[in-house]
Amino acid sequence: MSDSSLGHGHAWRPHATRSMTELLASMRFAIALLTVICIASVIGTVLKQQEPVNNYVNQFGPFWADLFLALRLNAVYSAWWFLLILGFLVVSTSLCIARHAPKYLADLRNYKENIREQSLQAFHHKATAPLAGETTEAAAQRIGKLLVSGGWKVRLQQRTTPAGDGWMVAAKAGAANKLGYIAAHSAIVLVCLGGLLDGDLIVRAQMWFGGKTPYSGSGLVSEVKPEHRLSERNPTFRGNLVVSEGAQSGTAILSQSDGVLLQELPFSVELKKFVVEHYSTGMPKLFASDIVIHDRITGEATPARVEVNHPVSYGGVEIYQSSFDDGGSEVQLRARPMVPGAEAFDVKGVIGGSTRLTRQGTGEAMTLEFTGLRVLNVENFGDAGAGSGVDVRKVDLRESIESRLGAGNKTQAKRELRNVGPSISYKLRDASGQAREFNNFMLPVDTGDGQPVFLLGVRETPSEPLRYLRVPVDAEGGMDGFLRMRLALADPRLRELAVRRYAAQAVDGARPELAAQLAQSAGRALALFAGDVAPGGADDDGVAGARGRPRGGLQAISDFMEANVPEAERARAGEVLVRILNGALFELAQLTRERAGLAPLPPDAKTQAFMTQAVLSLSDAQAYPAPLVFELRDFKQVQASVFQVARAPGKNVVYLGCALLILGVFALLYVRDRRLWVWLAPEADGARATMALSANRRTLDTDREFAQLRTQLLETAQPPHGGTP
C-alpha cells in the first residue's frame, strides 16, 4: 500500500509541476498580474503615499484609514503584496521567454526549404506559371538573385524527381519580428527587476532579516540607536535630506508608514544659499541650492549647484532639488485681543517651536505653535468682480472659438497674479490637546472692492479649507480701528453712549419723544448685533441663544425680523433697522477714536467703504474661535532646502528595458515576418513554377507585395509574343 502511494506521489509531482509551470508561463496569468499592477499604480498615484496616519484619519475617517493601513495602500510600492506581484510577473515573463525564445531563435536560422509541393497549395497567397525555355536550375538562380537584391535571405535546394531535377527556392524576410517578441518580453523583466532593485525591497529585506526597525520617536538625530540606521554601504535607497542655510547634514530620512529610517550618506551636504527667482507676477521660476559636498573619507569639499531637473551626482548618489522649507526663521508677533478683559502683548518664536500662554482672566493654559512662514503668497485676482455687468445672453462665436484654441495652457478665465506679501501660520492648542490652525497675512490686501483688508484665516482640521475674516484697514493703516470697535461693541456702557449720540444727532432737539424712541430702537439693534443674549434662554425680543451661547451679528438681526415682523413688512422694516444699526455703529467708531485721542472720521466715501466692511467683519467676528489674533510684525527668514538623495542601481536596468521595449514594440507592430517558396519542376519545354507566400499578418500590403513578386519572378520570364526571353 505504501509502495502504491509512493508511486502515485511520484506521478503526481511532475504533473503538478507541469501544471504550475503552464499557469505561470501563460499569457492570461501575466495579463492578470499586469492589470493588478496597473490598478495598484493608479491607487498609489491618487492616494498620497507615506503620509502620517492622522492625515488619513482626518481625510477619510477611522474606518477607511484602518482599511488603507491594513492593505498598505498608504505605501503601495513598498507593500509586500505589490513586491510579490512584481516577483511573479518576473517569473511568469521569464518562463514565457524560456519557453518560446528557443523556437523563435530556431526559426531565425530555419528557411523551411523542406516543405512539400502539395503544401504550397494550402496557402492563401499562391500562384503557378510556366517558365518556357528556362531550365529549373537557371530559373532558381535567377529567382534567387532577384530575391537577394530585394532584401530577402534565400536558400536553394535541389530535389530529384521522376521527371528530372527540381529546385526549391526558400526565402524569408522580416525576421526582426521574432526578435521584437524576445525584446519586448525581456524589457518587462528588466523594468520589473529595476523596479525591485530601486524600490523598497532591499530596505524591507534589511528590516525582515537584518533587525532594522523604524524609529517613531523624537529628539536629536545623533541620539537615534543603530537599529534604526542603515549603513552608507546600502546598495539602494531613496530618502529626503533637509539642510538649513549655513548648516550641513549627512543623514537622509526614509519615510515608513510606522516611522522613519535614517540613511547614513558617504558625504555631508552644506547649504550655502537657497536661491529663488521669480517672474514679474511673483510666481517662482527657479529653485536652486548652492551647496558644498564634504566627503567623509577624504575630507574633500566640492562646491556644486542643484536645480530642479538638474541633479548633482556624487559617489554614486544622485542629489535632487525636491522642495524647500523653513529652516528656523525667527518671527515677532503682536497678540491683539478680540474679547474684553485681555491686553495686547508681544511674543517671539522660531518656526517649528512653541511657547506657553496663559489666557488672561480665566487662567486657561494655551500653547502657541509656530508652524510656518511664507514670505511670498501669489494669488489670482483675475476673477475679482467677475459676473457683474455681464450679459449672459450675449454669445460671441468668434471669441468662444478663439478662447479654446492656441497653446495647451491657455484658459478662458482671465488671470491676474499678484504677490500679497508674507503670512504666518500658527496653531493654538488648548489644555486638552485640541488645536486650531490659523493663517494671518502681514500686509493688507485689496481684493478688488477698493477697501484693503487684513486676512485672518482659521480652520478646525487640516482637511478643511481656510475661512478668512476680512478686517478693514482703518485711517491709520492698521487694524486698531476695527479691534477698538469690536471691544466697544461688547461694552454695554459704550453702546448706550453711542446710541444717545446717534439719537441726538438724528432727531431734532425739539422732539425729545422721537429721540427716546430712536435711542430705544438703536439700543435694541446694537444689543442684538453684539450678541447680548441671555445664556440658554431668550431675551426680551424673543431671540434665543444657541445652546446657551451668545449669538450676534447680522444673523441675529435676521432672526429678530423673522420672529417679530410680519412678512409683508419685513423688507421696509429691515431697511430701517439696518440704517439705524449703521448709524449707531458709526457713532461707536467715532467714540472709540475720541477715547483713543484720534481725530474723528470724515463723512466721505473712504469712511463709508470702511464702515461697510466693518459692519460685515463685526458680524463675522462673532464666529471667530480665538480670543487673540496674532499679527506678524517682523521676521528673519532662514531658508532650508529639501533634497532627495537616491542610490539607484536599477536605473540603468530600467533604461535598458525601456529601450528594448521601444525596439520590441516597433518590431512587433511594423515588421512583418514573411516566408516565400518557389518550387521549380522540370517540363518538356522548360519549367513550371509554383509560388506561395506566408506572412504573420494578412494586410493589404501583403497582397500588394505578393502581386509584385509574382510579376517580378514569374511573369517577366515569359517570352513576349512567343519570342525568346
Burial 612-634 (b: 16+ CB within 10 A, else e): ebbbbbbbbbbebeebbbbbbee
What is the β-pairing status of strands 345-350 and 417-419? unpaired
Question: Do residues 233 and 220 touch, judged by C-beta distance below 8 A?
Answer: no
Q: Is the pLDDT of residue 410 over 80?
A: no
> Which tens digits make up the pLDDT trace of 510-540?
667 777 888 888 888 888 888 875 333 344 4
Please give the pLDDT value at position 402.
55
- Structural domain spans, the chain: 19-106, 122-174+673-722, 212-235+237-327+639-647, 330-381+416-475, 480-600
Which of the two residues, 389 and 446, has the higher pLDDT score? 446
Question: Do residues 289 and 645 touch, judged by C-beta distance below 8 A?
Answer: no
State the Cα–Cα distance between residues 583 and 483, nearest whole angstrom: 18
| Highest-confidence segment of 409-413, 448-452, 464-468 | 464-468
State the Cα–Cα distance between residues 306 and 320, nearest whole angstrom: 7
Please give the pLDDT value at position 6.
43
Which of the two residues, 397 and 474, has the higher pLDDT score? 474
Average the pLDDT over 136-157 and give the result: 92
> Which tens digits make up the pLDDT trace of 236-269?
898 999 999 989 999 999 887 678 899 999 999 9
Please give the pLDDT value at position 590.
92
Average the pLDDT over 336-353 and give the result: 89
CA atoms within 13 A on the CB side of 318: 18
What is the β-pairing status of strands 237-244 and 639-647? antiparallel
User: What confidence tier does 383 reach under pLDDT thresholds 50, 70, 90?
Assistant: low
User: What confidence tier does 509 reach under pLDDT thresholds 50, 70, 90?
Assistant: low
State the Cα–Cα distance between residues 686 and 683, nearest whole angstrom: 5
User: What cell was used for 147?
Assistant: 530575391
Average the pLDDT over 453-482 and give the result: 90
Please give the pLDDT value at position 100.
86
Q: Is the pLDDT of residue 446 over 80?
A: yes
> Which tens digits make up the pLDDT trace of 180-208?
989 999 999 999 888 888 877 888 888 88
Q: What is the phi/psi pair of residue 335, to 5°? A: -80, 120
Give the rounded percent of residues in the chain with a pLDDT score beyond 90. 34
How much is the mean pLDDT over the chain? Answer: 83
The total of other beta-carbon atoms located within 10 Å of residue 708's CB is 11
Q: Is the pLDDT of residue 391 over 80?
A: no
Average the pLDDT over 69-83 and give the result: 84
Fold for the domain defined by 122-174+673-722: TATA-Binding Protein (3.30.310)
Q: What is the phi/psi pair of residue 220, to 5°? A: -80, 150
State the Cα–Cα distance between residues 302 and 188, nearest whole angstrom: 39
Q: Is the pLDDT of residue 449 over 80?
A: no
Please give the pLDDT value at position 724.
34
Q: How far is CA 151 from CA 146, 157, 679, in A?
A: 9, 19, 20
Order of all β-strands in the sheet with 153-161 = 125-132, 686-695, 674-683, 164-173, 153-161
| Highest-confidence segment of 212-221, 480-489, 692-701 | 480-489
Q: Is the pLDDT of residue 400 over 80?
A: no
Please give the pLDDT value at position 75.
80
List all residues 6 or more positions away from 235 whose beta carbon is below 8 Å from its beta carbon.
Answer: 197, 202, 647, 649
Please give the pLDDT value at position 539.
45
Under DSSP, the state recorded for 465 is P
Sign of the dihedral through C-alpha 92, 93, 94, 99: positive
User: What cell was used for 414?
Assistant: 482671465
> Which tens digits make up the pLDDT trace of 579-602?
888 999 999 999 999 999 999 999
Please give the pLDDT value at position 284.
74
* Angle at alpha carbon of residue 343, lines to 340 and 345, rounded to 5°: 150
State the Cα–Cα distance between residues 698 and 293, nearest whole angstrom: 61
User: What cell was used for 22?
Assistant: 503552464
The total of other beta-carbon atoms located within 10 Å of residue 115's CB is 18
Average the pLDDT over 317-324 and give the result: 91
Please give the pLDDT value at position 259.
81
| Highest-confidence segment of 13-22, 399-408, 542-551, 650-659 | 650-659
Please give the pLDDT value at position 251.
92
